[in-house]
Amino acid sequence: MEQKKILIITYYWPPAGGPGVQRWLKFAKYLPGFGWNPVIYTPENPSYPLLDESLLKDVPQHLEIVKTKIWEPYQLAEKLNKSNKKFKAGQFDVGKNQSWKSKLSIWVRGNFFIPDARVFWVKPSIKFLEQYLKDNKIEVVVTSGPPHSLHMIGLGLKKKFPDLKWIADFRDPWTEISYYKHLKLTKSSDRKHRQLESAVFKTADITLATSYTDAENFRKAGANAVCITNGFDESDASPTHDVTGKNTQEKAFTLSYIGVLEQLRNPENLWKILDELVKENKEFADHFTLKFAGRIDDKILLAIENSNLKNHILNLGYISHDKAVEEMAQSDLLLITNFPNESSKGIIPGKIFEYLATGKQIISFGPDEADVSRILTETAAGKHFSYEDSKVIKDFILEKFEQWKKGSLLENTQNIEQFSRRNLTKNLVEILR
């Protein structure tokens, strides 16, 4: 049987690093097994904030990858603000940490580049892909954002080919993302963002969301929305260590954060609680390690290093995805943080699924009734807290420490098969049909 073709328009593709690249990389890996032949359309000369060569091994050998050049205004951004990597990655200083250059770069970003700084790739891509679609039989087109400019490509193609099936994949929300309110938008810019978002919702045949709450919110906004979460790939899983739960007193009781941590998701209350535990509990202090693997905001690190935790930090910096999975498995508690406001309860950080695959216990921070809390409850893999909680957080960490000392810190892999990349691809194929 001849395989059907699906064109996937994505900005992030190996050697890009970070969680954003993995969603459609993994779909592309497993789609051929379900009768679909993926074609990737991606920039020839992108400006990635992170690189991870280890992800190249997951690119299928005979995958068709089509590239065209992109112009991105990051040279201008660098002149305005030297912390250009933050700007590229959709991150920036907030509150008292903002310099006038940071404020200016954020204002320029929000008001001059709508939806985002990749907008200059939209028109050339529509022109190029119009001819490509005429020359090739494509059943479905997928646009994956952010950057949400890619949905503008889908919108343009749908206008030219009304019968074309278009899936708009939102890895993160657009105007409902927590940092949107920090973009210093004028009224006219805010209106334009919302008009474009609405046009995508109402024009795409399917809008994919990565969380249950986002799918519900998208439907309320007029989208034909379906949730397919992110997940874990069994082939990436690193064997868990000490599967019997046994630990020795020579080992550290390790709480790890794997990934990027910016100021808007900084769990200051947790650092305060850990600081107190180290100061009050000698046994805890003798064995505790706080491990970071990824890009942690400099100001967050500085604050921790100026506390009682300074001698308990193991900062590995940015590491490859393969190495990150190993570091997860060699931890006792794994940390997830989310934006604290209620509108972010639908955000499910992609790392939670790889955390689940390790079987390790998870401690999570974010708004009440978050989708993350639902997943942790279903899998019995940990506990979710609000940023205002204190005593219950302290009690939870001490409980896990006591279990660790006794060798009874159990690992849980309950009901996690639903989040495997292969099963999620199967769900996608049902939608494609």
Q: pLDDT tier at 101 (50, 70, 90 boundaries)?
A: low
Mean of the pLDDT values across residues 74-90? Answer: 50
Cβ count within 10 A of residue 421:
23
Percentage of residues in the chain having pLDDT higher than 90: 69
Q: Please report, rounded to a whole number, the percentage of residues in the chain having pLDDT higher than 70.
A: 88
pLDDT at res. 92:
52
Global pTM exceeds 0.85: no
Q: Which two tokens stand for residue 407?
A: 């060798």
Q: Which CATH number fits domain 234-406: 3.40.50.970, 3.40.30.10, 3.40.50.2000, 3.40.190.10?
A: 3.40.50.2000
Whether the Cβ atoms of residue 10 and residue 158 lie closer than 8 Å to each other? no
Q: What are the residue boundaries of the structural domains of the chain, listed by start?
A: 4-73+113-232+421-432, 234-406
Provide the CB-side half-sphere exposure for 29 (13 A, CA). Answer: 23
- Is residue 160 predicted with pLDDT exceeding 80? yes
Average pLDDT over residues 286-298: 94
**Does the pLDDT of residue 230 top 80, yes or no?**
yes
Confidence at residue 240, expressed as pLDDT on a 0 to 100 scale = 46
What per-residue confidence (pLDDT) applies to 110?
67
Average pLDDT over residues 51-68: 93
Specify whether the CB–CB gap between 122 and 152 falls below 8 A.
Answer: yes
pLDDT score recorded for residue 102? 65
Least confident window among 234-243, 355-364, 418-427: 234-243
For the domain made up of 4-73+113-232+421-432, the CATH class stated in words is alpha beta
82 burial class (0-12, 13-18, 19+ CB within 10 angstroms)? middle
- Residue 241: Cβ-neighbour burial (10 angstroms; 0-12, 13-18, 19+): middle
pLDDT above 90: residue 69: yes
Of 269, 302, 309, nearest in space to 396 by CA: 269
Q: What is the mean pLDDT of residues 164-188?
A: 86
- Give the chain's mean pLDDT: 88
d(CA 13, CA 52): 10
Measured distance CA(221)–CA(21) in Å, rounded: 27
Q: What is the pLDDT of residue 357?
A: 92
* HSE-up of residue 75 (Cα within 13 Å, Cβ side): 2
pLDDT mean over 93-105 = 61
Reported as a pLDDT band with limits 50, 70 and 90, residue 245 is very low
Whether residue 304 contacts residue 310, with contact meaning beta carbons closer than 8 Å, is answered with yes
Average confidence (pLDDT) over 110-128: 90
Least Cα distance to 272 among 361, 388, 370 occurs for: 388
Query: Which pLDDT belongs to residue 88?
Result: 47
**Residues 84-94: tens digit of each pLDDT:** 444 444 555 55
Phi, psi of 320 (to 5 degrees): -65, 165
Angle formed by the axes of helices 268-280 and 391-406, nearest 10°: 50
Tokens of 346: 């639908």
**Predicted local distance difference test score (pLDDT) of residue 199:** 97
Reply yes or no on whether the pLDDT at 330 is more than 50: yes
Cα atoms in the Cβ-side hemisphere of radius 13 Å centred on 128:
15
CA distance 195 to 140: 24
**What average pLDDT score do residues 323-351 get?**
90
Whether the predicted pLDDT of 354 surpasses 90: yes
Of the candidate ranges 6-15, 183-192, 266-275, 397-406, the one whose mean pLDDT is the lowest: 183-192
pLDDT digits (tens, 9 = 90+) for 379-399: 999 999 998 888 899 999 999
Residue whose C-alpha is closest to residue 343's, from 316, 318, 370: 370
Q: Please report the pLDDT score of residue 74 as a whole number.
A: 63
* Average of per-residue pLDDT across 225-238: 88
